[in-house]
Amino acid sequence: MKKIYLTLSSCLLCIVAIAQNPVSEALPFVQLDYNPASISMGSTYIGSAAMVPLSDSNLNAGALYQSYMPEIDGTQYMGVGVSGKKDALGLSLAFVRGKGAGITGEKFSPSEMMLNIGAGYAFTENLSAGINVKYARDQILSDYSHGAVAADIFVAGKMDRFDYAGGVSSIGQKVASESTGSFRLPSAATLGCGYTVGEEHVLRTRVKADFYFSKAVAAGIGAEYAYKGMVSARCGYHYGGDSVIPSFASAGLGLHIGDFTIDAAYLFASDVLKNSFAVSAGVRF
């Protein structure tokens, strides 16, 4: 077990060490949070492939609709995803597509897409690691687009009522530009944890910090109250700093009926992200 910890820690430190001087970043949507339950808690969940083997359910599937920056950009995201585990192995697959407001005078709307394929392995019932490989593409103009392949590598664990995760995200190739050279993806090192108390009346608290290789720092804090695992009320705050995701406050609700879940999030206290919202529906077994 000690060797596993040392090996994983060494890998993460080596990846973080590749961060160089700040440069312009491309494809910022690779760092967006597409989980309404997390968004409503200040984007404090780490939805990595490492979490799948530690999940309480064997199979999860869901769909998402998200309106992002409706007052400025008006991008509408739709996504689907599925994850499952068998013994110590966990697998996940997700696809999201965003479509922006149409360009005046043209029959074209900017679009974005991202495909995620993940795999995780539990070394013990309380410790796992995982990698998620993603392909992201941005169609800016009708005759111009660019894309990149990247990876997220995380370690996750839990101890009684405490859970934690850490790793790096969006480590990948640079995006080439015909006129201004190349741009790095918004890569970051991330640490997060959560603590849960209560049985019938449950209170969950979470914190997360992102250390971008561009030298920007972002952080979030959130809380959730759940009654008998059926109804949840959430709130949180995300500090974006100079990162690709602006600061915002958030709130949301969750409804759990049997194996079915519905989650919603609303963003406010942000000139850029105000009135953004996300809803999702899913099933778990």
Tell me the pLDDT tens digit for each residue of 174-218.
887 666 668 899 999 999 999 999 999 999 999 999 999 999 999
Q: Given this model, what pLDDT does residue 108 score?
A: 80
How far apart are the C-alpha atoms of 105 and 89, rounded to whole Å? Answer: 51
Tally of domains in the chain:
1
Indicate the pTM of the whole model: 0.89
Say if residue 1's pLDDT is above 60.
no
CB 175 within 8 A of CB 187: no
Q: What is the average pLDDT across 119-135?
A: 97
Q: β-strand 277-284 against 59-68: which pairing, if any?
A: antiparallel
d(C-alpha 68, C-alpha 47), whole Å: 19
* Mean pLDDT in residue range 117-136: 97
Q: C-alpha distances in angstroms, 105 versus 10, 102, 109, 139, 203?
A: 53, 9, 11, 17, 51
Residue type (1 letter), 241: G
Residue 130 tokens read as 């995982």
Q: Residue with structure tokens 């013994």? A: 87
Q: What is the pLDDT of residue 146?
A: 87
Task: Provide the 3-class DSSP secondary structure of residue 254.
Answer: strand
**CATH number assigned to the domain comprising residue 163:** 2.40.160.40
Q: Look up the domain containing 40 and give its range.
A: 2-284
Res 270: pLDDT: 96
Beta pairing, strands 217-227 & 59-68 = unpaired
Which of the four pLDDT bands, split at 50, 70 and 90, describes residue 173?
confident
- The answer to whether 47 touches 206, Cβ cutoff 8 Å, is no
How many percent of the chain have pLDDT more than 70?
Answer: 88
H or E stretch at 135: strand 127-141
Q: Which residue has the tokens 């309106």?
A: 67
CA pair distance 159, 168, nearest whole angstrom: 22
How many residues are present in the chain?
A: 285
| Beta carbons of 130 and 51 less than 8 angstroms apart | yes
Q: In Å, how far are 16, 90, 95, 118 from 153, measured between CA atoms?
A: 11, 14, 18, 10
Encode pLDDT of 6-36 as tens digits: 334 444 433 343 333 344 789 999 999 999 9
Residue 140's pLDDT band (cuts 50, 70, 90) = confident
Res. 238: pLDDT tops 90: yes
- The C-alpha atoms of residue 64 and residue 44 are separated, in whole angstroms, by 18
